[in-house]
Structure 1
Amino acid sequence: MKKRLMTPAALSGLALALTLSQPAQADWDDVLKKQGEKLLQGQTAPESKSTPVPAGMDTATLASGLKEALKVGGERAIKELAAEGGYANHDDVRIPLPGALDTASGLMRKYGLDSQIDTFEASMNSAAEQAISEATPIFLETLEGMTLDDARRIYSGGDTAATDYFREKTQGPLGSRMQPLIEEAMSSTGVMQAYQALVSQAESQVPMLKGLSPDVGEHVTDAALDGLFLRLAQEEKQIRENPVARTTDLLKSVFGQ
């Protein structure tokens, strides 16, 4: 079996951990353990159920139904996330601290940095809520580009196949369009000021965190899009599985009454 070499960042973290006093060593060991657990998350995905194409249903109608499903689901998802607290008040989409700062947040809180952490998290989530509506134009452009072949494959795919298609087609353009807007929103919501205050205090109180400089704009953008795709997948599953969610005649025709 081929051995994996530790990255410089991992070696640096290990060296720092070995130089700590015993109480702090235990805290840092816990941080490293949590980082390892996070890396293991997402290795397995839940099974998706396929949807059989209804007998006699033509592909053009399927395509129209899928576009309608994504349009309805996307509008719901974006509206929910753009509302005040759309990210911040929901654990499954709330944007955490970036990278190692999130892993070490429990340790930083032990050093009395609760206020700085909370302020920074709140400002990141507020920036995402302000910018996520900018996903709508790209979202609609992607729907117009869906082909008939795409439609039949997506319809009979898993219960989030349309969302997966949307993510594949739009993640790059959405990130490019949204990051400058998120960074602009970050300026107005005080993200960087809050970040600098947190890092300054963290480095003085927790020496092993010195030198961390994550790209906050990229982190917030990626996390905001992850939240969008998660909400869109939930909406798609609802439309496929729950008749109540089929709010138009076309959706009822394509997905059943």
Structure 2
Amino acid sequence: MFTRIASALLVAGLLATTAPAAHAQTTAAKKAAAAKKATAAKKAAAARTAATKAAAAKAVAARAVTPKAPVAAPAPLTEAQASAGVKEALNKGIIKAVQFASEPDGFNLNDDIHIPTPPDLEIVKSTVGRLPGMGLVFTQLETQLNRAAEAAAPKAKDIFLNALANISITDALTLVTSGSTDAATQFLRRSTQSQLISAFHPDIEAAIDQVGAGRAYATVTDKYNKIPLMTPVNLSLADYTTQKAVDGLFILLANEEAKIRKNPAARTSDILKTVFGR
């Protein structure tokens, strides 16, 4: 009896001793398996990331070497399109230039076309300009010359438009394909300048008297011509102002033409886009 009890106690002791050890071994095995699984998952994720990056790089490289589809060349410009485009561009420029030049201070406050005191009067200005009140007279004279040009400017519109109607189709095609930004303006100048001068001169001569420029000029030159040993000055203000007024109109017109040739936003119609958008 005693022997059986002792044996049972011995077995129980052995079981008590070995149970923790077995439990510890099981836990360690589970931890090792979990770590191994985590490592494998990280490796798989890294492999997927690398594969994604490689695929993206391959796609970028493929796009870089893939030739672009050729862009179809625009159809050749016809003579009719060239004629319509040039005439519309000049018509637009003429209307804007004449309108601007005709406004109050259209010449006077525009540095591009402002008419200065005639160079022939510079020696007069340096001589009598220091006299009391003469500085103001010169200032008024310059302003009045610009006023005369502004008064005459509207007459240019019909002259320009009549010349515009007579531009040949062949000339139009040459003007469109020119590399000059003011080719059409210069063409128009060659065909209208003498007519403009003839038309402007009487109006400017009348305007010079009307705005008081003639009286200012007489005041200036009378003072100067009375100085001993000085060569008398006898300048035609009408001739000088007429030429300057015509020059100013062509400057404004050239600016408008350049905008259409250079700036897509200035091509406000389909024909201008077709002709000058190449």
Shorter-chain TM band = 0.7 to 0.9
Is the counterpart of residue 76 in structure 1 residue 84 in structure 2?
no
Q: Tell me which of 200, 209, 213 is aligned to 1:178.
A: 200
Residues 127, 189 of structure 1: 8 Å contact kept: yes
In 2, Cα distance between equivalents of 1:201 and 1:221:
25
Look up the SS of the partner of 1:96 in the other structure: coil
The AA in structure 2 aligned to 1:235 is E
Corresponding residue number in structure 2 for 1:93: 113
**Count of residue pairs the alignment pairs up:** 203
Corresponding residue number in structure 2 for 1:62: 82
Q: Identity over the aligned pairs, expressed in percent?
A: 34
In 2, Cα distance between equivalents of 1:108 and 1:159:
44
For structure 1, the residue ranges without an aligned partner over 5 or more in a row are: 1-53
For structure 2, the residue ranges without an aligned partner over 5 or more in a row are: 1-73
Cα separation, partners in 2 of 1:154 and 1:208, compared to 1, 3 Å: farther
In 2, Cα distance between equivalents of 1:244 and 1:105:
46
Cα separation, partners in 2 of 1:74 and 1:209, compared to 1, 3 Å: farther
In 2, Cα distance between equivalents of 1:87 and 1:208:
36
Residues 93, 253 of structure 2: 8 Å contact kept: yes
Deviations 1:3-29 (A, max 9, x none): xxxxxxxxxxxxxxxxxxxxxxxxxxx
Residues 120, 198 of structure 1: 8 Å contact kept: no
The AA in structure 1 aligned to 2:199 is R
Cα separation, partners in 2 of 1:97 and 1:164, compared to 1, 3 Å: same
Q: Tell me which of 183, 191, 210 is aligned to 1:188.
A: 210
- Displacement after TM superposition at 1:103 (Å): 5.9
- Displacement after TM superposition at 1:129 (Å): 0.2
Is the counterpart of residue 230 in structure 1 residue 251 in structure 2?
yes
Corresponding residue number in structure 1 for 2:235: 214
Residues 69, 239 of structure 1: 8 Å contact kept: yes
Return 208-217 or 219-228, whichever deviates more: 208-217
Higher radius of gyration, 1 or 2: 2
- Displacement after TM superposition at 1:100 (Å): 1.5
Which structure shows the higher helix fraction?
A: 2
Corresponding residue number in structure 1 for 2:262: 241
Return 104-113 or 215-224, whichever deviates more: 104-113
